[in-house]
Chains A and B, each alone.
Chain A
Amino acid sequence: MAETPQTPSDLSTFLRGLWRENPVFVMTLGMCPTLAVTNTVLNCLAMGLAATFVLICSSALVSLLRNFIPKQVRIATYIVIIATFVTVVDYAIQAISLELYASLGAFIQLIVVNCIILGRAEAFASRNGVWKSALDAAGMGLGFTFALFCLGVVRELLGSGSLMGIPVLGSRFEPWSILILPPGGFFVLGMWLLIFSVIRQRARARET
């Protein structure tokens, strides 16, 4: 199997998505759901896990079929594969809770066009074995979930004074409503991007 020159270990394949190449904080991919559904922690976890499931299943299937897919129709095939698993997730969420389904709205279906998933299929799964692709997808998916969670915690805590729907800041706290509205998504994302780039810069400075 012709893989990348220095074959990375399983662990580093998995961890890369979580931290060093975090899809949201480093690659700034998948901004649409990141800004749209992060107003509560529960939405973030549901969205993140749904995307992770789609990512793992579609990466594994793409990797399994990678030698049979002619390159002219590869994007079409990937989209069919991704759309299939998105529909499965869509049914599953409806079966779990219609309320959750309503609060995620169209963003579940929009996982089809989430560029993280197509990006991993194209950049990684179509060139690597099933196990490595699934690990990479799991790392990226959990990295995406982690990023959504970071945004969701700040937005829900300050925007509605609660966490997972449970009030934690008491009745005397005046919620910063702006944070659960769309502009709040941009503010909080900007803040996290700043924090993460400072951390990365420090780490780089220490290495040299």
Chain B
Amino acid sequence: MTESSSRVSAPALEPGSFAMIRTLGGMAMISGLILAMAYNATFGMIQRNKEEAIRNAVFAVIPGAQTQARFEVNEQGGLRTAQADSGGTPVFAGYDEAGNLVGVALGATGQGYGDVIRVLYGYSPEKQTITGLKVLESKETPGLGDRITKQPFLDNFLAMDVALNPDHSAPLHPIEFVKHGAKTESWQIDGISGATISSKAIARMLRESTERLLPVIHAHVDELREVP
């Protein structure tokens, strides 16, 4: 390249610390201004895209759902209808054409290998099984950890037995992680070799979420049956 040879090593004046601080500080301010403008300009659209993605994910994890309604679980373990995000844990109820409840979609969040992983899973109160799982957000390593977002890992969740124990306080068999190839029961998650941390993270967040939310769903299933 011609540019690199034309570089002259002139005995330039040694710039003081002030020049460096001024440059870096000034640049950081310009950068902040540009970022704030870009963030403001795109915030609404990104939010709409995310809601759209969640809507589609709800239909994907509840087989047979045609319409959906949003509920929220509050801190006291109660359930209320919610039009938009108002702070509680969302529960999406899915109904078929006749308005019968076919399942609910629940969210789970946990720390993965890269960043926080957010998933949505379908649950059938009638069959007491998980009916599907979709990863909404993950920054797992491409080629390794990102296999949690693909088949065959997702096949683990097509009919996972999470039946509640006799006093309805938690699933009888907590969801557990097993090494790849060692899965014998439907509540076990067949790990991915090469992505142990990511697949363990999914197992942990699902176990916590099912232990917390399934008893609530069980207690309020009649409220969910009615289309709001």
Residue positions of A touching B, CB distance < 8 A:
2, 4-5, 21, 36, 65, 68-73, 76-77, 80-81, 83-85, 87-88, 91-92, 94-98, 105-107, 123-124, 127, 182
Given that A71-B12, A95-B49, A98-B49 are known contacts, is A88 also in contact with B23, CB under 8 Å in the complex? Answer: no
Q: Do B23 and A77 touch across chains, with their CB atoms under 8 A apart?
A: yes
Q: Verify B3–A91 contact, CB threshold 8 A.
A: no
**Further pairs besides A21-B1, A105-B142, A127-B3: 5, Cβ < 8 Å:** A71-B12, A80-B28, A123-B3, A123-B4, A124-B3
Residue of B2, B20, B139 contacting most chain A CB atoms (<10 Å): B20
B19 touches A70 (CB 8 A): yes
Give the interface SS of chain B, mostly helix, strand, loop or mixed: helix
When distances are taken between beta carbons in the complex, the residues of chain B under 8 Å from A94 are 42, 46, 49
Q: Does B193 contact A (CB under 8 A)?
A: no
Given contacts A4-B2, A80-B27, contact A88 B35 (CB under 8 A): yes
* Residues in chain A near residue B45, CB distance under 8 A: 95-96
B34 touching A70, Cβ below 8 Å = no
Q: Could you give 28 example pairs across A and B, Cβ below 8 Å? A: A4-B2, A5-B6, A36-B142, A65-B27, A68-B22, A68-B23, A70-B15, A70-B20, A73-B20, A77-B24, A80-B31, A87-B35, A88-B34, A91-B38, A92-B38, A94-B46, A94-B49, A95-B45, A95-B49, A97-B49, A98-B49, A98-B52, A98-B53, A105-B146, A123-B1, A124-B3, A127-B3, A127-B6
> How distant is the Cα of A67 from the Cα of B135 in the complex, in angstroms?
48
Give bound CA distance, A88 to B41, whole Å. Answer: 10
How far apart sit A70 and B20, CA to CA, in the bound complex (Å)?
6
Structural contact, A80 and B24, CB atoms closer than 8 A? yes
The answer to the question of B50 belonging to the interface, with a C-beta cut-off of 8 Å to chain A, is yes
B115-148 to A contact mask, C-beta < 8 Å, 1/0: 0000000000000000000000001001100100
Residue numbers of B with Cβ under 8 A of A are: 1-4, 6-8, 12, 15, 19-20, 22-24, 26-28, 30-31, 34-35, 38-39, 41-42, 45-46, 49-50, 52-53, 114, 139, 142-143, 146
Q: How far is the CA of A96 from the CA of B7 in the complex (A)?
A: 42
Smallest CB-CB separation from B146: which chain A residue?
A: A105
Chain B residue at minimal CB-CB distance from A97: B49
Cβ-defined contact, B23 with A91, below 8 A:
no
Contact A73 B4 (CB under 8 A): no
A129 CA to B142 CA, complexed, in Å: 39
Give the residues in chain A near B31, CB-CB below 8 Å.
80-81, 83-84
Alpha-carbon distance between A97 and B42 when the two chains are bound, in angstroms: 12
Chain B nearest CB from A190 CB (Å) reads 20
Q: Which 8 pairs of residues, A with B, have the shortest CB-CB distance?
A: A95-B45, A70-B15, A95-B42, A84-B31, A91-B42, A88-B38, A73-B20, A94-B46
Q: Could you tell me if B42 and A69 are in contact, using CB atoms closer than 8 angstroms?
A: no
- Please report the C-alpha to C-alpha distance between residue A91 and residue B6 in the assembled complex, in whole angstroms: 38
Measured CA separation A182–B144 after assembly (Å): 12
**How many angstroms from the CA of A151 to the CA of B101 in the assembled complex?**
48
* Complex CA distance for A181 and B46, rounded to whole angstroms: 30
The closest CB in chain B to the CB of A101 belongs to B49
- By the criterion CB–CB under 8 Å, are B3 and A4 in contact? yes
Tell me if B34 and A98 are in contact (CB < 8 A): no
Instruction: Give A158 Cβ to nearest chain B Cβ, in Å.
Output: 20
Cβ of B42 to closest chain A Cβ, rounded Å: 4
Q: Which residue of A lies closest to B115 (CB)?
A: A106
Shortest C-beta distance, A82 to chain B (Å), equals 10
Tell me the complex Cα distance, A127–B146, Å: 42
CB distance from B205 to the nearest CB of A (A): 19
Bound Cα distance A127, B53 (Å): 46
Find out whether the CB atom of B23 lies under 8 angstroms from the CB atom of A70: yes
Residues in A whose Cβ lies below 8 Å from that of B20? 70, 72-73
Q: CB distance A84 to B42 under 8 Å? A: no
- State the CA gap A105–B135 with chains docked (Å): 13
CA distance A21 to B1 in the complex (A): 9
| B-chain residues with CB within 8 Å of residue A88 when the two chains form the complex | 34-35, 38
